[in-house]
Amino acid sequence: MSAGGSSACVVFVGALVIWEIWARAENSFYVPPLTEVLDRAWHVWPTNDFLTEASSSVKRLAAGFVIGAGLGIAIGLPSWVPPARRGGEFSSHRSSSSGQPPPIAIVPAFIVVLGFGDSMRIGVIAFGVCFPFWSTRSKACGRYLQRYATRPRCCTSTEPSVSFASTSPAALPSIMAGLRIGISIGLVLVVVSEFVGEGGGLGHYILDQQGQFNVPEMYAGILFLGLLGYVLNRVFVLVERRVLAWHYGAAGDPAR
């Protein structure tokens, strides 16, 4: 494990210890000790009801992520064409300057158009994943083509075909970065979208437990979400290291 990973683990464990000490000192109904939350999680997580809620969220996350990433790739493919590249750069500038509406803010509009079912939730996730991914893809192609434009044309192929063939591998690190960001955004959006409507899911479970004042169960659901996000991120890091082994080797970056 790298030094950064070790520091993150120390901070995480320290936060859990502070939670336990502070909760026991306060003795508050609304902030149970970590040990109580873990005890409830031990009994709740293996149940069929909870696993059904978790699987529903994972399926929506997977569907929305695939659709959003696919749209982002499709929109970003013509990035070697100057107008399209300028559009990607404009989108990334708007996103960085908070000009793009936050994905959570689009939930009411998607409810009006798609209703309260899975179509709305998957659409919200896809929307949140697509635009950041498109902007990273377009910026990567734009940076590469700026360097390419300063070099002599020594190939017989036309510039668009050369650009497409050459920018695709060059853009892979940015594509993987966009996908990694998309996982985090998608996990947030799947929970937020499940706060409304029917159909279950982890967001619905957490809100339902809060409404019934089952506070330890509520925290157990939140803790499961945190662990799910961590596992998804680590799995993606492993995939990224394999796909981009040539990139990290060229950069002299040691394996994580």
Separation CA 49–CA 131 (nearest Å): 34
pTM to 2 decimals? Answer: 0.76
Q: Name the residue with tokens 């029917």.
A: 198
What pLDDT sits at residue 158? 47
Cβ atoms 173, 244 nearer than 8 A: yes
What pLDDT sits at residue 233? 87
Q: What would the pLDDT profile of 28-84 be if each residue is shown by its tens digit?
A: 899 999 999 999 999 999 999 999 999 999 999 999 999 998 887 777 655 544 444
Q: What would the pLDDT profile of 164-196 be if each residue is shown by its tens digit?
A: 444 555 567 777 777 888 888 899 999 999 998
3-class secondary-structure state, position 47: coil
- Nearest alpha carbon to residue 72 among 189, 144, 177, 228: 177
Architecture of domain 32-251: Orthogonal Bundle (1.10)
- Nearest alpha carbon to residue 41 among 29, 31, 51: 51
3-class secondary-structure state, position 31: strand
Separation CA 88–CA 136 (nearest Å): 8
Q: Which two tokens stand for residue 11?
A: 């901070």
What pLDDT sits at residue 3? 57
Distance separating the N- and C-terminal Cα atoms of the chain = 6
Cβ atoms 256, 5 nearer than 8 A: yes
What pLDDT sits at residue 33? 94
Cβ atoms 47, 234 nearer than 8 A: no
- Nearest alpha carbon to residue 187 among 41, 48, 61: 61
User: Counting runs of H as helices and runs of E as strands, what totals does the chain give?
Assistant: 11, 0
The DSSP call for residue 247 is H
Q: Name the residue with tokens 């799910």.
A: 228
